[in-house]
């Protein structure tokens, strides 16, 4: 009984609402009234296209189908209405005119859950909202109705969630920038970007893209997005931290078929001098890996020795090994100071790779490689008498040099 009372209340209000004609914005079509009789049209199906839950500002779509109950034909329009009621018995209604075929019609009627709705008894209350009745009416006032079809689960007056939103932080450290990538539906009326370095606001960075500078090396950068739109919940998104690596330098590798060994240097001038010697003993092989030319937190010195007798270099991060060689083998190996800086083998820094070390008992020299493939090839191809694998020696950054934008 309660259902029939509510339905009747809304139907009577809907009739009063539309008695003056087709709703505003609709285009009325003149039609020969003789093609209509007094038999009401028949609604054959009504359903929600999407079941929700819905929020304030969402578009609700109702699929419907009806047939003309009369014997007449011709084209024209039907009046289509959706009526509902909230938890406080406040009624609302949406109306529109829809084209009619000769004897039947179907379609999808859409309406937006916002202030454009006609509120009869005041603003709609929070809580469940029912689509209580759907009415199709012809020009003669003949109508057919369909009872309650579903319940919209939301609070009408509560702020809506954006129907879709995607926010992510993209990074291209090699090219020197970070980007906050956003996609919203509907679009926010106010969209702001905030960047922080080690928790401190970077006042000059207010766009979606953050240009990495030399001052950012070793810092943790975060991006924040603030988005607002009337009637919608505010969005406050903060990205995860991106640790900007310190700028690296390439480590160049040479091989000498004369001496049977390799040489590694971070010095561009040393590289150019050896490479320029066309008939020299050293053949340039390119970049072996990257490292640091100055010490940064977490990095350690890589010490370099030179043996003039066998024309070989020796590299180690071990202070104990450095001191032993200087103490016991100074007559063979001359200490040349720090070659460059690397990470110790125990480092927990992400995106590093291991440099492996070999020793040749016959050649009395060491070989180093950051290539897993080369390491495995040497181990499988040569006997331990030629190249004995001594294990992992230290770590170096996975990526090549970080390029800071000019200025």
Percent of the chain clearing pLDDT 70 (strictly above): 62
Strand partners, 356: 369, 392
Q: Is the peptide bond before 53 cis (omega within 30 degrees of 0)?
A: yes
Better pLDDT: 161 or 334: 334
pLDDT at 370: 95
Enter the tokens of residue 368. 């180093």
pLDDT at 11: 31
Better pLDDT: 380 or 157: 380
DSSP 8-state code for residue 343: B
Go through the domains of the chain in sequence order and give each one's CATH number: 2-152 (2.60.40), 164-243 (2.60.40.2700), 249-397 (no CATH)
pLDDT at 187: 86
DSSP-derived secondary structure for 2-66: HHHHHHHHHHHHHHHHHTTSSPTT-------GGG--SPPPEEEEEEESS-----TT-EEEEEEEE
42-48: strand order across its sheet: 42-48, 59-67, 104-112
pLDDT in tens, 139-160: 566 666 655 554 444 344 456 6
Q: Is 331 helix (H, G, I), strand (E, B) or coil?
A: coil
Better pLDDT: 141 or 196: 196
Nearest to 275 by CA among 255, 257, 289: 255
Better pLDDT: 358 or 1: 358
pLDDT at 320 over 80: yes
Distance CA 105, CA 100 (A): 5
Better pLDDT: 46 or 326: 326
Helix H segments across 305-390? 319-328, 372-381
pLDDT at 124: 55
Distance CA 392, CA 258 (A): 27
Tally the C-alpha atoms within 13 A of residue 150's C-alpha that lie toward its C-beta.
17
- When pLDDT is cut at 50, 70 and 90, the band that residue 337 belongs to is very high
pLDDT at 1 over 50: no
Angle subtended at Cα 242 by Cα 236 and Cα 245, rounded to the nearest 5 degrees: 160
pLDDT at 208 over 70: yes
Q: Which residue has the tokens 């350690």?
A: 300
pLDDT in tens, 241-256: 988 878 889 999 999 9
């Amino acid at each position: 009984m309660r259902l029939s009372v509510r339905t009747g209340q809304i139907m009577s209000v809907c009739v009063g609402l539309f008695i003056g004609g087709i709703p505003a914005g609709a285009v009325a079509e003149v039609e020969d009234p003789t093609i209509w009789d007094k038999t009401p049209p028949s609604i054959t199906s009504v359903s929600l296209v999407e079941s929700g839950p819905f929020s304030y500002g969402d578009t609700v779509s109702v699929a419907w189908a009806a047939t003309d109950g009369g014997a007449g034909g011709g084209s024209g329009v039907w009046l289509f209405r959706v009526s509902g009621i909230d938890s406080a018995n406040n009624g609302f209604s949406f109306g529109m005119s829809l084209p009619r075929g000769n004897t039947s019609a179907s379609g999808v009627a859409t309406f937006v859950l916002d202030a454009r709705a006609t509120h009869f008894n005041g603003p709609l209350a929070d809580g469940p909202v029912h689509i209580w009745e759907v009415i199709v009416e012809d020009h003669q006032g003949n109508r057919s109705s369909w009872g309650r079809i579903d319940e919209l689960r939301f609070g009408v007056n509560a702020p809506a969630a954006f129907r879709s939103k995607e926010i992510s932080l993209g990074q291209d450290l090699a090219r020197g920038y970070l980007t906050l990538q956003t996609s919203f539906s509907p679009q926010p009326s106010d969209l702001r970007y905030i960047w922080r370095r080690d928790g401190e606001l970077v006042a000059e960075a207010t766009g979606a893209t953050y240009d990495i500078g030399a001052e950012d090396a070793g810092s943790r950068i975060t991006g924040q997005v603030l988005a607002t739109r009337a009637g919608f919940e505010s969005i406050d998104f903060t990205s995860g931290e991106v640790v900007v690596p310190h700028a690296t330098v390439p480590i160049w590798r040479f091989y000498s078929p004369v001496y049977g060994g390799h040489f590694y240097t971070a010095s561009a001038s040393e590289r150019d001098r050896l490479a320029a010697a066309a008939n020299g003993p050293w053949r340039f092989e390119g970049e072996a890996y990257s490292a640091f030319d100055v010490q940064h937190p977490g990095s350690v010195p890589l010490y370099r020795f030179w043996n003039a007798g066998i024309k070989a270099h020796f590299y180690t991060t071990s202070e104990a090994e450095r001191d032993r060689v200087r103490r016991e083998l100074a007559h063979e190996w001359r200490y040349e100071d720090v070659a460059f800086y690397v990470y110790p083998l125990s480092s927990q820094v992400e995106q590093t790779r291991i440099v492996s070390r070999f020793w040749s008992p016959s050649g009395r020299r060491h070989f180093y490689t950051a290539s897993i493939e080369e390491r495995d090839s040497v181990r499988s191809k040569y006997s331990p008498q030629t190249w004995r694998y001594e294990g992992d020696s230290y770590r170096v950054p996975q990526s090549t040099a970080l390029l800071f934008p000019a200025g």
